[in-house]
């Protein structure tokens, strides 16, 4: 029995829908975009890689190659590719699709790591502030213009001011 979860279904569903839409638009707009039929398929790969991550982008790349070979490369309605120029075009498309998918995946992973690191940094800063605020020593941080950046409650008590007056 197939074990397919919702995430996989969405990934591959976006790939199938975006390539199907690119194919439909390319057929409908054939005369307008004729020498550049790959443009809409690149868009399909990009959208699939964005929403479906690496596997979605790779699936869209593979589906696009099959669609381009079948519908637009002579002999039409066949997966046989007789022309070296068509082979080169499909190989180049596949490599660019792989590049788009991997770059999107790297971007998504970098954003995920950045969010995680930022959350850890915020937790660390809160912990640091708690330590400073509960310290028995007076702590006073000044900037280069000798203006108060931070003062803890203990320092304010030692000097006879409120924290608001020291800021």
Q: Over 60: is that where the pLDDT of 89 sits?
A: yes
The band of 149, judged by pLDDT with boundaries at 50, 70 and 90, is confident
The band of 61, judged by pLDDT with boundaries at 50, 70 and 90, is very high
How many CB atoms neighbour CB 51 within 10 A?
Answer: 18
In whole angstroms, give the CA distance from residue 6 to residue 4. Answer: 7
* Average per-residue pLDDT for the chain: 89
- Tell the burial category of 146 from Cβ atoms under 10 Å away from its Cβ (0-12, 13-18, 19+): exposed
């Amino acid at each position: 029995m197939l074990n397919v979860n919702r995430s996989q279904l969405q990934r591959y569903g976006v790939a199938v829908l975006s390539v199907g839409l690119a194919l439909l638009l390319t057929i409908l707009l054939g005369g307008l975009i004729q020498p550049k039929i790959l443009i809409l398929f690149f868009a399909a790969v990009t959208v699939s890689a964005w929403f479906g991550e690496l596997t979605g982008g790779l699936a869209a790349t593979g589906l696009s190659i099959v669609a381009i070979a079948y519908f637009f490369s002579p002999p039409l309605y066949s997966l046989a590719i007789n022309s070296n120029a068509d082979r080169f075009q499909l190989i180049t498309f596949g490599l660019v699709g792989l590049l788009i998918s991997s770059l999107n995946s790297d971007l998504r992973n970098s954003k995920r790591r950045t969010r995680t690191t930022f959350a850890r940094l915020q937790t660390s800063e809160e912990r640091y502030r708690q330590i400073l605020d509960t310290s028995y020593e007076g702590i006073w941080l000044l900037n280069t213009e000798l203006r108060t950046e931070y003062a803890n409650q203990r320092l304010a008590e030692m000097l006879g001011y409120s924290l608001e007056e020291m800021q």
